[in-house]
Every structure is written in structure tokens, then in C-alpha cells.
Structure 1
Amino acid sequence: IMYKTSWILNRLIHTHSGVSKHRVSRALLLLQQSAESQIRLWPLHFTLHGILVLVLSSQYIISHVIGEKTLECVPRKRERERVWELCSKCLTRMPVQYVIEEWDFRDLTLKTKPPVVIPRPETEVKNFSDFLDKHGLCVGCGSGAISLSLLRSIPQLRVFALDQSQTAVCLTMENANRLGLQDRLDVHHLDVIKDADVILSKCKPVDFLVGNPPYLLSQDMDTLQTEILGFEDNSALDGLSVICLILALSSKLLTQRVYLELAPYHPPVIQQLIEEMRLGLLYLETRCDLTNRSGSSKKGEYEVI
């Protein structure tokens, strides 16, 4: 049945385009197929609309809707309607992470909401031996991925987190409450550019600073995928000036180290900035992220002069 249905939909896709979209839509909504069959058929519909989406996108959505059921089950009518509703959002180029309103980061499942930047696996670290201190500062908390994963892994840790977006601050607190980590997290709606003095007054000296600050060059913004450019907060993607301010804050707040997730071409730029700004910071090393992209992670240390 699966192969026959796939053949029928493929025939529809290659016939009159104005009619085929409607017929494929009706077939996907009404056919009582297994979840696994729908996972394979939805990409045909995406292709019909000119969107090249991997099979995984429909798998995430269908698995989200049917929950713990096996993929061999036949979704009920309201589940098929829900799959249709969510997959239709993908036709607007909305990222699947926003469509299902949650995403995994390390061992956490976090709520997601546009335009807060989506948690990405490149930001994950393999071990926490460098973070076994008691107080940390997270600049640009977003959904809370970095700060909450650290809190989950290090029971004695406390984190002061901030973000220029009120939506991000609320989302971090929502995720912290869902995970039971709110008692060790202090979240503030502060802009590292506008509120540097407030940050210095509210935040006590910390053992380390972590963050995934804006690192794309302005001229590179137009090359981003529609899913990123159209839905994620551009202010969280564009600009290098905030990194200079983070370095300046680091020299006044840090007792040990700062870790920043940056673009592969940034390490020499950051190293030069540290030398020119004369803040008492020492550039230590560049580490690859989990995709093995050289230079995507930067590690600095506050050196007492």
C-alpha cells in the first residue's frame, strides 16, 4: 500500500501543478496511512511547493504528535489533522524546532519560541572539567541551553544569565522551571551594550563566563537560509561589537576564564582585539566544536596583572 500510494502521489506531483497540490493535500490529510508512511510522503508535498526538506523534518513532527506510539501505528483523524497543521507551517519555511515548539540540547528538552535563537549541537561540549567552579555568567542566554545544561551537570554551580531580549529571558525562566533548576539561576533582562554599568553592579565576580554572542558579519547576513533569516532574532546573529564589550566586562568580573562560541574565522581577530584593548586578558587557545570546525570555539583567561 505504501508503494502504491507513493506512486500515486508522484504521479500527481508531475501532472497539472494547480490540481496536484490540492490532490496531494487531500491525500495526505485523508489517507489512513501508518505514521512511517506519512513520514515518507510529506517530503513529496514539500518538494511540490519547492521546499527541499529532509525526511527527518516530517519524522520529528509526526513523532511529536503521536508521542510514544510506534511508527507502525495509524494516526487517528485528529492526529492526522494535527500533523497537517504542523507540516503546513513548514511550507512557510518555519524551522521544525519552532513548529513543534521544543528541541533537544545535550540531555535536555527545551521549549523553543521565535525569534529566540534555536539551540544547536555545535554549541555542546564533551566534558565539564573546565566548569567545576561555583559561579558563572552567561551572556545571551537565549532559550537557556548553555546555562541550564551546565546547571544540570554541575550540582554546586550557580549562574547569572542575561539577554537583551525579554522573550529570551522569559523562555529561559520557563525552561528552568520545567527542569527544576530555577533556584540556582538568576536571569536578567539586560543588554551588554546599553547596560554594562548595571551588569557590573548586579553581578558579583564570577569564575567563568560563557556565551554564544553575535558573530556573523553584516555582509554575510544575506547568505543565511530563509528559515534563519526570516524567523530567528537577527540582533542575536549580526555584529562583532558586542564581543568587544564582553571582553571588557570579563576583565572586571572574571577571576578565571571566558569561553565563547564564535565563527571559524574569528580566533585571529579576537586574539588581535585582546592585544589591542590591553585589558589584562590572555588568549589561551582555540578549540574545535563538535562538528570539528577549526576555530569555532574560543577560550580566554583573565590574567591578574
Structure 2
Amino acid sequence: MWWRRTLSSSYRCYLGRRRSGAKIWRCLTRATCSAPALPAGRITALQALDVWKRHFVENGVTEPEQSSQYIIAHLLGAKTIESVEQQRLAALLSKEETQQVWRLCSKRLSRMPVQFIIEEWDFRDLTLKMRPPVFIPRPETEELVELVLTDLQKRPGSAEAPPTCLEVGCGSGAISLSLLKSLPQLEAFALERSQDAVDLSRENASRLGLQDRLKVYHMDVIKDAEKMPGLFSSISVLVSNPPYLFSEDMATLEPEISRFEDCAALDGGEDGLNVIRQILTLAPDFLSNRGRVYLEVDPRHPALIRRWVEDNVEELRFVETRQDVSGKPRFCILQKEESHKAPEVDQD
């Protein structure tokens, strides 16, 4: 869909591709604007597109043409405006259709993301339900899934021990569900601190027929750490797109994010590593030997993570950093190794 490809453009408008530093997060907040008056007579879809494109431009709404196109395409039962027949675009809208266009496009004036307005989101080969305040998956996270898939396809497991995946912070369920769809033998578990996100993940799993292979736990990886021993063991892969923004960047978020998405899914603390450090501390207890951790991170993080793991988690080895499609160091891969500590000898 548009936001998945063209709207990496979309996230230049309010998230960019999460480039390092605060500049990309610059906020362009404007006062909420009023909608244009409903037309006195009937108009066509093409005329509605033009009215709303111009109104979005005048009011500083990002991606004005694409915003109007995809909202109106959605109301016409399509995913893209290109897939709507020209005859339908040139036909007069009914009064009810015109009112629906005005209602949904007015939400975009408030800077609500289109994904929330049309209530769905394409992620790789899945269409997921979306609603605020659950974090919207970004294009980079599709790349994270590809990395994990490549690894798991090399290590398919066996009938007695199928591969398993643990996702920390599952949001809408995008990562786990995409992995499950691609790997029929995979079993997945997910942790999520937000009840809204837990509910949405379970709903998406049910809609996709994957509810029997994904178990979602309403747990906070930091606050509920003591409850986790015994829940997960011998996991093949731990994957996470955790909160990783530096706290100082939170005040500069675009209104599409700050007004509508769960800020706790973004704020990683002073250095962006609060949740990441906790994940890496717990990972050796969850992973099988040579099991791997895959993290999406800020481009400033890989060197910090490598040093911290070397100093604090003996059983994890930093394997490599991978770049995203824009060339930013975005993904960290770590692997569990056997501890080299000598066993303690009982002197009694």
C-alpha cells in the first residue's frame, strides 16, 4: 500500500526513516483547522480529491495528495486510487459518500495518521487492523523481519523441536504474525505492556487464522521481569523493535506521533537504551544455545550496545550490525554463547 512504499515518503513527513539525531523529528504543529464547507450539490470523486488536496496543502498537512487519494480510495472500496476505475472516479458521489469523505478527511486535518483513519495497515504480505494509540509499524521493521526469516530458514528445527520466536513489545502483532505467515512450522510468543496493543495483536492474529500459534502476554519486560523465569526457554530467536528514542527527542515529535501514538512505545530513556538493556539482560535465560537476538535500534546505538554487552552479559556475543535501506546502521544481531565462567566448587 501507499504508506509502505511511497510513504516512506509518508514517514519523511512525520517520522522520516528515523534518521539519527533530532532534526528529523522536528515538529510542525499547527492549530487544528476547520474543514471546507460541504458542497451544495453533488460532486465527483475526482472533484473531492481536488478539494481536499488543496485544503490539505493550504493547512500544512503532510503528503496532501496521497492523504486525499488513499482516504477516498478506501471509501470507494479500493486500496489505491490507481485501482479505482476512471468511470467510478468521474461518477457523482452520493450524499452519504460525500459526507463520509468530509468526515474522514477532516480527521486528517487534526494530523491523525491515515493508517488510523482508514483503520488498516499493510505490512509485508499482511493487512493488519490499526487503531490508536497502538504504534504503527514502520518500513524499516519489514527489513527486520527479513533478517529474522533468513536466519530461521537456515535453522528450520525439527518436528520434535520446531523453531520458536519471542517478540518483546509486539504492538499490532506485525512482526510475529508476519513471521508466522512465512514459516508454517514456527511457534511464537509475545510480550506487550499495553493492553490496547495486546487486544489488537490478538484481534489481528484471529483475523489471519494464526491465533493458535501466537501467545500474547500482557507483561512489561522491566516491571514484570520477576514473573518471567520459566515462561520461556530454548527460544530460537528473540526479536524486538523496542522504544529506542532518546528522551530529549520526544518533545520534537511530529503531531501525527505525539497526539495519536503511544509515546511509551517510543521513549527509550536518556540514552534510548532502557528497554534494550533489559532485553539483553534477560535474553540468555530465554534463548537456546546459539539462539539469536534481533533488535531495531537508533543509528547511534550499535557501538553503545556492543560495549555494554561485552561488559555486562557474558553469555551474549555481538555478531554484527546491519544497515537499513537508507544506509543507516539500524539492526543489531547478537547470539547466545555458552558461558566461559568456571563452575563454582563447593569447598565444604
Percent identity reads 49
State the secondary structure of the residue aligned to 1:243: helix
Name the stretch that deviates more: 208-217 or 40-49. Answer: 40-49
Equivalent of 1:274 in 309, 331, 345 = 309
Q: Indicate the residue corresponding to 1:141 in structure 2.
A: 170
Shift of 1:264: 1.1
State the secondary structure of the residue aligned to 1:201: coil
State the secondary structure of the residue aligned to 1:191: coil
1:69-80 correspondence runs (5 A): 69-73=84-88, 74=91, 75-80=93-98
Quote the Cα distance in structure 2 between the aligned partners of 1:111 and 1:37: 29
TM-score using structure 2 length: 0.77
Q: Is the 8 A contact 1:283 1:300 kept in 2?
A: yes
- Judging by fraction of residues, say which structure has more helix: 1
Q: Indicate the residue corresponding to 1:196 in structure 2.
A: 225
Q: Indicate the residue corresponding to 1:32 in structure 2.
A: 43
Q: Give CA deviations for 1:200-232 in whole Å, capped at 9, x if unaligned.
A: 222232001011000000001122111011111
State the secondary structure of the residue aligned to 2:223: coil
Quote the Cα distance in structure 2 between the aligned partners of 1:71 and 1:192: 51
Pairing 1:100–2:118 present:
yes
Quote the Cα distance in structure 2 between the aligned partners of 1:236 and 1:30: 45
Code of the aligned partner of 2:150: S
Pairing 1:248–2:281 present:
yes
Q: Indicate the residue corresponding to 2:346 in structure 1.
A: none
Q: Indicate the residue corresponding to 1:131 in structure 2.
A: 152
Shift of 1:72: 4.0
Quote the Cα distance in structure 1 between the aligned partners of 2:331 and 2:86: 38
Q: Indicate the residue corresponding to 2:326 in structure 1.
A: 292
Q: Indicate the residue corresponding to 1:3 in structure 2.
A: none
State the secondary structure of the residue aligned to 2:332: strand
Q: Indicate the residue corresponding to 1:15 in structure 2.
A: none
Code of the aligned partner of 1:292: S
Quote the Cα distance in structure 1 between the aligned partners of 2:62 and 2:181: 36
State the 4+ residue runs in structure 1 displaced beyond 3 angstroms: none
Quote the Cα distance in structure 2 between the aligned partners of 1:143 and 1:71: 35
State the secondary structure of the residue aligned to 1:180: coil
State the secondary structure of the residue aligned to 2:37: helix
Quote the Cα distance in structure 2 between the aligned partners of 1:244 and 1:270: 8
How many equivalent pairs are there?
281
Pairing 1:175–2:204 present:
yes
Quote the Cα distance in structure 2 between the aligned partners of 1:231 and 1:71: 34
Q: Give CA deviations for 1:183-210 in whole Å, capped at 9, x if unaligned.
A: 1001110000011122222223200101
Q: Is the 8 A contact 1:264 1:293 kept in 2?
A: no
> Cα 1:71–1:158, aligned 2, differ >3 Å: closer, same or farther?
farther
Q: Indicate the residue corresponding to 1:18 in structure 2.
A: none
Shift of 1:30: 4.4
Code of the aligned partner of 1:70: E
Q: Is the 8 A contact 1:138 1:160 kept in 2?
A: yes
Q: Is the 8 A contact 2:56 2:64 kept in 1?
A: no
- Structure 2: tracts of 5 or more residues without a match: 1-33, 79-83, 157-162, 340-348
Shift of 1:26: 2.6
Pairing 1:301–2:311 present:
no
Quote the Cα distance in structure 2 between the aligned partners of 1:283 and 1:234: 29
State the secondary structure of the residue aligned to 1:117: coil
Code of the aligned partner of 1:287: R
> Cα 1:278–1:90, aligned 2, differ >3 Å: closer, same or farther?
same
Shift of 1:71: 5.0
Q: Give CA deviations for 1:38-77 in whole Å, capped at 9, x if unaligned.
A: 3333121123334343311111111111114525413322
- Structure 1: tracts of 5 or more residues without a match: 1-20
The alignment's C-alpha RMSD in Å is: 1.7
> Cα 1:40–1:131, aligned 2, differ >3 Å: closer, same or farther?
farther
Q: Indicate the residue corresponding to 1:118 in structure 2.
A: 136
Quote the Cα distance in structure 1 between the aligned partners of 2:327 and 2:37: 41
